[in-house]
Structures are given as structure tokens and as C-alpha cells.
């Protein structure tokens, strides 16, 4: 649906700062390179404690970070082949099904307790990241990962970067959609004179097209202009497909922001930055090790630090007075907030329908049982 691009005042609905996630999407957990074979670690996906580990054959697994025996955190255990053994009593769990396969002190003739199952999660690796599907596992194959075509294309210089925010994920998402905050970065030679050109939305996505101008050494380094004192004006397209971002200056740079909501006031982000640098290809290859260090430190991190300061300040002010109402004039932000709230509503509705179906099923079986008992029929267990 096409939306008006007129900047006009609207009151921010604070419910967006309180909603949870729709877990029926893929979320990033961390970089693949940081989890070695035989290692286990703890992660949190919207207040769900999860243990992930890499088996000795290289496969990654995810289990609820709680042993069904005593509740001890499973990430403290030991990786044994492709299984994870609890550190407390050595109960050993299969990473795919979550079933307990072995209890060291249980006799050969004794059966394993059938309820000794740790919840398992669909998990996969792509783009150098570990991804998890924390919702209904039957839906995992219906949801694609974000599309990152530059990852497999020649001619792009890629920089991965991680960020940690003490803020609700909606605050972080609004920052990425809001091109009008270039004022914050003016001392870093960021962008200026932004104009919102087009805006469209669906129940799951936002597409905003802005016009922005660049000038300075950074613009020259990125190949945006031939001279540092030259002003270049280009369109930038931002696509938010819940729950992740992609933005691009066509043919110049692309940014993919993969979001991990941790809790009401905590979020993480795993970003892939792609650049076509204003350098000969041979120079990029030669300088690649140096650029991998210099570009994040000198070009990206200063911008990110300023953004984090603002986002965490916004979160602190909201937390201190949740009833305070704020005003927004960028229609892209209002549209984004509606998508975030709507996606949570969709999840709640689906959960309620599933619970209602289970309730009717259980009560239907109970009614059949009562009828059988009242008629004197024999119930076979």
C-alpha cells in the first residue's frame, strides 16, 4: 500500500515500546566463526534462554538452556560427539530432537524417562551467521532467511560488525529507518538534506526511498564523488522486512542489519556492510587485511557509537516515564511502528487459536470419556 510522504505530526503510541516479537521468523545468534567444534554457549532470544553448541563434526544445535532433570543450564555441559551432556549429572541430550539418550548411572535394564526432553530449535548457518527459529518449528521451512545477493558477488568489500543496545528493538529499528537523523553525524561527514520520496507498506514490511546528499573525504573514499568538496545527491532505499533491514545506495553500498531482540530493554544487531570502494580492484585485494580493521574503526564505529548513545538515551527516558507521549513527523517511523505492533498481534492471535484448538480437543476427549463412563463402557488405555 502506498503512503503519503508528507511530514506531519502524529503522537507515538507507546505500546510499541512494550510489545514482544513474532518468533515465527529466523533470528541471528552470532557469527559462525566464534563457535568452534566442541564448544557450547548461552544466548537469549526475547527472554528465551537457549544453549547452542557445535558438535565435533561441525553441525550446530540449539536446545532450551535448562536440563529437564534439575533445571541446570545446559550450556555449562560437555559436548560429546553430536550430543550435549549436562554438567551436573551427565544426562546426555540429542541436539536435533532434544531427547535424553543416556543417563550414566541408570542400569542397562532400566528405561530412560520419556519426559526427559529438552526443547530443541531449528537452526542453520548462512552469511557467516548462526540463525535460529524460536517459534513454531513446523513453520521454519516456510520462512526464508533475508536475501543478501552481494555476499556471493565479486567486486564488493564486506565488513561484518556487531552492536549491543540497551534499548527495546523498536527503538533500534526506528533509528535505521530514520534518515532524517543525519544531523547527529554531521561532524563525521555523514549525509545531509534528506527528502522522503516514496513510502509503501504491507502487514510485514516497509519500503522507504529517500534522497540524500554527501560531501567530504568519506564520500570520495566510497566512490560517491571525484572530489571531497563535490556534493553528490543520490537515492537511498530502505527495506524493512520484519524483523530485519536492508538499505542500499544502488551500485555503491548496501547494509544488512540482522536484529536479535533480547529483552524489553536489550537488543543486539549483526550487520553486513558492503562497499564498492573508490580504489582499483588490485589495491582493495592488497589492502584487504588492513581495510578490515580500518574501515570499521574509522568509518563505521564512530557513527554507531553516536546512534547507540541516542537510542539508549531514548530508552532511559521512556523507562523513567512510560506515560509521556512523544511526537513524530516522519510517516516512515509511524508505519514501522504499526508493522512491529501488528506482527506481535499476529503471533498472539495465532497462539490463542492454537491454545483454543488444544482446549477444545482436550475437552472433547474428556467429554467422550465421561460419556463412556456414564454408559458403562470399558475404557481401554
Report the alpha-carbon distance of residue 26 to residue 140 in Å, rounded.
8
One domain, residues 296 and 163? yes
Asked if residue 340 has a cis previous peptide bond (ω within 30° of 0), the answer is no
One domain, residues 192 and 122? no
What average pLDDT does range 44-68 have in this prediction?
A: 98
| pLDDT given at position 62 | 99
What average pLDDT does range 290-314 have in this prediction?
A: 89
Closest CA to 120 of 96, 136, 141, 153: 96
Q: Does the pLDDT of residue 110 top 90, yes or no?
A: no
In this prediction, residue 221 has a pLDDT band, given cuts at 50, 70 and 90, of low
One domain, residues 187 and 42? no
Sort strands 10-11 and 129-132 into parallel, antiparallel or unpaired.
unpaired
Percent of the chain with pLDDT over 70: 89
Residue 10 within any structural domain of the chain: no
- At 353, is the secondary structure helix, strand, or coil? helix
> How many domains are contained in the chain?
2
Residue 190 within any structural domain of the chain: yes
One domain, residues 97 and 177? no
What average pLDDT does range 341-368 have in this prediction?
A: 69
φ/ψ (deg, to 5) at 8: -145, 155
Handedness of CA 300, 306, 310, 316 (dihedral sign): positive
Query: Measured in whole angstroms, how far is the alpha carbon of residue 65 from the centre of its chain?
Result: 19
Report the alpha-carbon distance of residue 66 to residue 71 in Å, rounded.
5
Q: Quick one: angle between helices 169-177 and 301-320, nearest 10?
A: 130
In this prediction, residue 223 has a pLDDT band, given cuts at 50, 70 and 90, of low
Residue 17 within any structural domain of the chain: no
Residue 6 within any structural domain of the chain: no
Cell numbers standing for residue 350: 495465532
Q: Does the pLDDT of residue 134 top 80, yes or no?
A: yes
CATH code, domain with 300:
3.90.380.10
One domain, residues 204 and 295? yes
pTM above 0.75, yes or no: yes
Question: Which uninterrupted H or E stretch holds 126?
Answer: strand 123-126
Q: Does the pLDDT of residue 11 top 90, yes or no?
A: no
One domain, residues 259 and 111? no
One domain, residues 118 and 265? no
**349 Cβ contact partners less than 8 Å away, ≥ 6 residues apart:** none
Q: Does the pLDDT of residue 214 top 60, yes or no?
A: yes
pLDDT tens for each residue of 276-292:
866 677 777 787 788 78
Any idea what the Cα angle at residue 231 is, between residues 239 and 271, rounded to 5°? 30
| pLDDT given at position 222 | 66
- Integer distance in angstroms from the first to the last C-alpha of the chain? 55
Residue with cell string 515500546: 17
Report the alpha-carbon distance of residue 58 to residue 36 in Å, rounded.
8
Residue 381 within any structural domain of the chain: no
Any idea what the Cα angle at residue 28 is, between residues 25 and 32, rounded to 5°? 140
Report the alpha-carbon distance of residue 125 to residue 141 in Å, rounded.
14
Between 5-14, 59-68, 79-88, 119-128, the lowest mean confidence (pLDDT) is in 5-14
Q: Are 67 and 118 in contact (CB under 8 A)?
A: yes
Residue range of the domain that includes 276: 155-336
Residue 361 within any structural domain of the chain: no
Report the alpha-carbon distance of residue 324 to residue 326 in Å, rounded.
7
Name the H helices within the chain: 169-177, 217-221, 281-294, 301-320, 331-374
More confident call, 351 vs 55:
55
Percent of the chain with pLDDT over 90: 65
Report the alpha-carbon distance of residue 41 to residue 166 in Å, rounded.
21
For 30, what's the count of Cα atoms within 13 Å in the CB-facing half-sphere?
A: 19
Amino acid at each position: 500500500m502506498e503512503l503519503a510522504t508528507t511530514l506531519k505530526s502524529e503522537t507515538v503510541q507507546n505500546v510499541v515500546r512494550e510489545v514482544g516479537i513474532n518468533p515465527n521468523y529466523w533470528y541471528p545468534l552470532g557469527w559462525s566463526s566464534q563457535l568452534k567444534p566442541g564448544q557450547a554457549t548461552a544466548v537469549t532470544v526475547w527472554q528465551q534462554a537457549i544453549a547452542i553448541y557445535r558438535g565435533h563434526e561441525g553441525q550446530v544445535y540449539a536446545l532450551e538452556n535448562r536440563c529437564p532433570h534439575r533445571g541446570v543450564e545446559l550450556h555449562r555441559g560437555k559436548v560429546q560427539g553430536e550430543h550435549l551432556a549436562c554438567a551436573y549429572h551427565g544426562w546426555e541430550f540429542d541436539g536435533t530432537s532434544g531427547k535424553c539418550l543416556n543417563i550414566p548411572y541408570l542400569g542397562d535394564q532400566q528405561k530412560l524417562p520419556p519426559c526427559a526432553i529438552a526443547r530443541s530449535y531449528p537452526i542453520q548457518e548462512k552469511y557467516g551467521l548462526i540463525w535460529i527459529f524460536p517459534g513454531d518449528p513446523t513453520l521454519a521451512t516456510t520462512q526464508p532467511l533475508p536475501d543478501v545477493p552481494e555476499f556471493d558477488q565479486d567486486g564488493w568489500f564486506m565488513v561484518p560488525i556487531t552492536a549491543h543496545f540497551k534499548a527495546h528493538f523498536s527503538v533500534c529499528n526506528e533509528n535505521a529507518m530514520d534518515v532524517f537523523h543525519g544531523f547527529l553525524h554531521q561532524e563525521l561527514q555523514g549525509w545531509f538534506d534528506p527528502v522522503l520520496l516514496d513510502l509503501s507498506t504491507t502487514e510485514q514490511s516497509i519500503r522507504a526511498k529517500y534522497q540524500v546528499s554527501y560531501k567530504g573525504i568519506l564520500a570520495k573514499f566510497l566512490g560517491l564523488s571525484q572530489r571531497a568538496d563535490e556534493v553528490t545527491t543520490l537515492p537511498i532505499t530502505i527495506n524493512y522486512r520484519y524483523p530485519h533491514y536492508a538499505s542500499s545506495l544502488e551500485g555503491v553500498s548496501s547494509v544488512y542489519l540482522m536484529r536479535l531482540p533480547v529483552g524489553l530493554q536489550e537488543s543486539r544487531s549483526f550487520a553486513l556492510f558492503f562497499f564498492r570502494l573508490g580504489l582499483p580492484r588490485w589495491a582493495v585485494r592488497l589492502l584487504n587485511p588492513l581495510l578490515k580493521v580500518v574501515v570499521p574503526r574509522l568509518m563505521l564505529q564512530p557513527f554507531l557509537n553516536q546512534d547507540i548513545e541516542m537510542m539508549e538515551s531514548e530508552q532511559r527516558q521512556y523507562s523513567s516515564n512510560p506515560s509521556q507521549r512523544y511526537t513524530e513527523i516522519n510517516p516512515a517511523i509511524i508505519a514501522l511502528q504499526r508493522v512491529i505492533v501488528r506482527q506481535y498481534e499476529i503471533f498472539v492471535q495465532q497462539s490463542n487459536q492454537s491454545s483454543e484448538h488444544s482446549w477444545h480437543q482436550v475437552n472433547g476427549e474428556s467429554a467422550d470419556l465421561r460419556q463412556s463412563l456414564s454408559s458403562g463402557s470399558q475404557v481401554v488405555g
